[in-house]
Chains A and B, each alone.
Chain A
Amino acid sequence: MKSTIFSLIEKDVSAFPSMPGAAAKLLKLLRNPDSSTAEVENILRCEPGLTANILKMTNSAYFGLTNRVGSIRQAMVLLGWKRLYQLVIASCVSAMMDKPVPGYDLPAGELWRHSIAVSAAAEGLAKELQLSGTDEIFTAGLLHDVGKMILGKFVEQDLVKIDFETYHNLSFEKVEQDILGTDHAEVGARILEKWRLPAEMIAAVRWHHEPENAPSISQMGDVVHVADFISLMIGVGVGREGLQYEPSKAVTRRLGIHIGHIEKIASQTLEWVSDLTASFK
């Protein structure tokens, strides 16, 4: 039975939408230090929707620019290429992640709010802890739960089993593994692989509930793990499974996190979420 479900999930992963062609080209350019601004502009010239989305996000209070940005060239200068890379991905996934997610009982917009919250909380935490080399943390946070979009309908079909007493004290990704043969973190990682995103980002998504099982320690993955709990605890995108996940003590120890860090970031996260989501309306 489990293997049948697993092959159905595999099928859904293969059928999951690819990155739009223009976005894939842009992401490639933006990761190559030899690309020119003109090349990026050339692609975006034929993509008015994507361009408008990027500019709207650029002008979000979250990024703190004082003057209104009206062109991609300006956005690249003021925000930098790494931010632009993040905004291209965010623009591509916002519409699909805005939909309701059955199984996890997330109404329309909640997966997106949760994802934005984890992105912002992860960036805030990385800054608070003065970590370096975490440029891709925004995108890793944004995409950490993308697997729920596929797994949701399978979770829904098995709700009766999932609510079974045996599973009440088991971290939810393990419940998924036990019943479905995989979990939403693994399915999400498979989607990121399909999108050819960077390996460390894929690992951060794959191990966000089990950082202790990751083949190598990643600060980015560790921070996303903690930011996910912050977002759930403050009720942003908390679904049917509630807080039924287990935080890793090894992660908080190696990041040197105190409860003060967590509460401080929690107190700021809602404002970040409203700044960022407003730019998509």
Chain B
Amino acid sequence: MNQVITVGDMKIGGKGDILVTHALGSCLGLMVYDPAAQVGGLLHAMLPLSKINLQKAAQNPYMFVDTGVPEMFRQLYEIGGQKSRMVIKAAGCGQPLGNSEMFQIGERNYTVLKKLLWKNNIMLEAEDVGGVISRTVYFDLSTGQVIISSKGVKKEL
């Protein structure tokens, strides 16, 4: 079944599910898949660190990378996912033109993700991050295939 993940949300699923998220601008799209258990999840996190709005983070951990990523892994373990088998891919983290520090939310999202993964000894298998484009992700949980679409062009990640 197709399931759409909105900004600041996360969904997990299994064989037969396709997880879709649209309009990844500066937000992080994180796709995690366990091919043996055929389970996976897609997170669409908006901002790097929850300390900017702790009240929001308490209501919805998926708005932030630092709270959303651990929560996604926790839920995947519960449905049979195992860390050693997880295949992890990232998309999004774009930013406007120029190099204004004020608008580097995308880069900050990516940095926080990398730190989190590094601390937990997890590698990123593939990524399509940065630039000015907006991305849509289709994540097929029967195969683990990730398709990124932007400006009507699709490619496999």
Q: Give Cα A233 to B47, complex, Å.
A: 10
* A60 contacts partner chain B, Cβ-Cβ < 8 Å: no
- The answer to whether A163 and B7 touch (CB under 8 A), given A266-B47, A267-B46, is no
Residues B52 and A252 in contact, CB atoms below 8 Å apart: no
Tell me how far the C-beta of B42 lies from the nearest C-beta in chain A, rounded to whole angstroms: 14
Question: Which residues from B are CB-within-8-Å of A243?
Answer: 25-26, 94-97, 132-134
Which of B69-77, B101-109, B113-121 lies at the interface with chain A? Answer: B101-109
Decide: A260 and B151 in contact? CB cutoff 8 A.
no
Contacts of B84 in A (CB 8 A): none
Docked-complex contact B132 and A163, CB < 8 angstroms:
no
Chain A residues 201-260 with CB under 8 Å of chain B are 226, 229, 232-236, 238-247, 249, 252, 257-260
Q: B68 on the interface (CB 8 Å rule)?
A: no
Contact count band on A: 20 to 34
B7–A247 contact, CB under 8 A? no
**Chain A nearest Cβ from B29, distance in angstroms:** 10
Cβ-defined contact, A171 with B97, below 8 A: yes
In the complex, whether A73 has a CB less than 8 A from a CB of chain B is: no
Q: Which residue of B lies closest to A231 (CB)?
A: B25
B91 within 8 A of A: no
Chain B residues contacting A66 (CB-CB under 8 Å) are none
Measured CB to CB, the nearest residue on chain A to B24 is A235
Q: Which residues of A contact B134 (CB under 8 A)?
A: 235, 238-239, 242-243
By the criterion CB–CB under 8 Å, are B96 and A249 in contact?
no
Chain B residues closer than 8 Å to A233, beta-carbon distance: 25-27, 94-96, 103, 105-106
Residues of A98-129 contacting chain B, CB below 8 A: 105
Check A238 against B105 for contact (C-beta < 8 Å): no
Docked complex: A258-281 residues within 8 A CB-CB of B: 258-260, 262-264, 266-268, 270
User: Considering the chains assembled together, what is the distance between the CA atoms of A249 and B102 in angstroms?
Assistant: 9
Closest Cβ neighbor of B102 among chain A residues: A252
List 8 interface pairs A-B (beta carbons < 8 Å), by A numbering: A233-B26, A233-B95, A233-B103, A235-B25, A242-B25, A243-B96, A246-B98, A249-B100
Footprint of B on A, CB under 8 Å? 105, 163, 169, 171, 226, 229, 232-236, 238-247, 249, 252, 257-260, 262-264, 266-268, 270
- What would 17 more interface pairs be, CB under 8 Å, given A239-B134, A247-B97? A169-B97, A232-B25, A233-B26, A235-B22, A242-B131, A244-B132, A246-B98, A247-B96, A249-B98, A249-B100, A259-B102, A259-B104, A260-B52, A263-B48, A266-B46, A266-B47, A267-B53
